[in-house]
Amino acid sequence: MKIVIIGAGPIGSYAGYLLAKSGHDVELYENHPQVGLPIQCTGILTSDFDEFHLPMDNFLVNTIALIEAYSPINEKVVVNQKDYIVCRKRFDNYLANLAIKEGARVLVNHCFLRKEREQDKDSLVIRDTLNKIDKKISADIIIAADGPLSPTAKAFGFFHQSRKNYYGIQAVVEGQFESKVTKTYFGNEICPGFFAWVVPESSTVARIGLYAEKNSSQYFSAFMEKHGFKAKEMQAGTIPIFSPEQKLQNGNCYVIGDASSYVKATTGGGLIPGMKQAEILADCINRGKKFDREVRTSGLRRKMWLHLLVGRMMSKFSDDDWNRMFKYFNQQKVRKVLEKYTRDNPIPMLFHIMLREPRFLYFVKFLRF
């Protein structure tokens, strides 16, 4: 089967690898001149990444052992959690090379422009931006893995109009850091609804960032100034909010990764959910199963929903609410749960937290729309 994937980000490349390995004729089109650039990501992966059984030596930068979270009144909660920090340039190239080794063709400097319909058949118009030539390409299956604004899902008429995005901003800074500790800072003066992060690459370099619905640059500048950080390199990007209304398939076009809005609404992490989607999609194409249904029955959609609900609650928190939440978190019985489950497993995590500390029910009031 001929499969065209628009976008050679991590999710498109991983899907391309799985499908080429299954014997399909796969082409990936990427509008940038190089895979993996520009970097627009902190590169944190929970230990759930182990489930993909991919050797990490090519792209692993650091392994984190502890997360420290700070409340608005500076109460600290410390949780043992193993996280991986990857170099996104190397990570994306590693996945694209896996696809190439399995026979996929990756064409950079190729930008998807539009869909055209001729004699009952769709073709894709893709511009070779280096040679300034427009090519017409046809395929049995098209996969939109072209990021949060997904021009492909728009062209195929199923990019849901209600979708919204956050804006993330990050700097690489030099200084003195605890190399195995990620620090997160909560509060409405720091980053309303979410948090700012300090993620070490090593004891001398860290990635500092935050994301917000509005004014992220102002909050970011204030955070940098407060901590005396000086940016060595700046990165920024759009983070989609999970949209339950977004369909995953329209005719022979599927949508995955950020293009489908499958990002954890509590943390902005989209790599693991997107890679899980890619695995489900490859299996569906190989076995003729319905993608939407399989994503639902796999539990992935439920996880996204739960992150969305918690994210919606967080977006309404006052500083007093954050302080109250930290007080509840700072009990050994709750911390033990936080240490047992990763952020990619929110369902058992939340269930056991509620069981051990029913006062968390206080926050349910924020679920009123």
Ligand X SMILES: Cc1cc2nc3c(=O)[nH]c(=O)nc-3n(C[C@H](O)[C@H](O)[C@H](O)COP(=O)(O)OP(=O)(O)OC[C@H]3O[C@@H](n4cnc5c(N)ncnc54)[C@H](O)[C@@H]3O)c2cc1C
**Which residues of this chain interact with ligand X, rule CB under 6 A?**
6-12, 29-32, 40-44, 111-112, 145-147, 151, 168, 170, 209, 237, 239, 257-259, 263, 268-271, 274
Task: Considering the complex, state which of residue 32 and residue 352 has its C-beta at the smaller distance from ligand X.
Answer: 32
CA 163, CA 177: separation in Å to the nearest integer? 37
Least distance CB 341 / ligand X (angstroms): 17
Least distance CB 60 / ligand X (angstroms): 14
Task: Considering the complex, state which of residue 241 and residue 271 has its C-beta at the smaller distance from ligand X.
Answer: 271
Task: Considering the complex, state which of residue 72 and residue 273 has its C-beta at the smaller distance from ligand X.
Answer: 273
Contact between residue 334 and residue 328 where contact means Cβ atoms under 8 Å apart: yes
Measure CA 232 to chain center.
24
Q: Is 186 exposed, middle or buried, given 0-12, 13-18 or 19+ CB atoms closer than 10 A?
A: buried
- H helices within the chain, ranges in order? 10-21, 88-101, 151-155, 216-227, 271-287, 291-297, 300-314, 319-329, 332-340, 346-356
Kindly state the tokens that stand for 90: 């190397």
Measure CA 263 to chain center.
5
Kindly state the tokens that stand for 339: 């240490």
Residues 6+ apart with CB under 8 A from 29: 4, 5, 6, 7, 8, 107, 110, 111, 112, 126
Q: Is 101 exposed, middle or buried, given 0-12, 13-18 or 19+ CB atoms closer than 10 A?
A: exposed
Least distance CB 270 / ligand X (angstroms): 2
Least distance CB 355 / ligand X (angstroms): 28
Least distance CB 212 / ligand X (angstroms): 11
Contact between residue 262 and residue 274 where contact means Cβ atoms under 8 Å apart: yes
Task: Considering the complex, state which of residue 271 and residue 310 has its C-beta at the smaller distance from ligand X.
Answer: 271
Least distance CB 260 / ligand X (angstroms): 8
Task: Considering the complex, state which of residue 206 and residue 263 has its C-beta at the smaller distance from ligand X.
Answer: 263
Least distance CB 230 / ligand X (angstroms): 18
Task: Considering the complex, state which of residue 138 and residue 331 has its C-beta at the smaller distance from ligand X.
Answer: 138
At 241, which amino acid appears?
Answer: I
CA 2, CA 22: separation in Å to the nearest integer? 12
Query: Omega of the bond prior to 38 within 30 degrees of 0, cis?
Result: yes
Task: Considering the complex, state which of residue 67 and residue 334 has its C-beta at the smaller distance from ligand X.
Answer: 67
- For residue 342, what is the DSSP state? -
At 152, which amino acid appears?
Answer: T
Select from 239, 233, 235 the least CA-distant residue to 211: 239
Task: Considering the complex, state which of residue 17 and residue 334 has its C-beta at the smaller distance from ligand X.
Answer: 17
Least distance CB 368 / ligand X (angstroms): 29
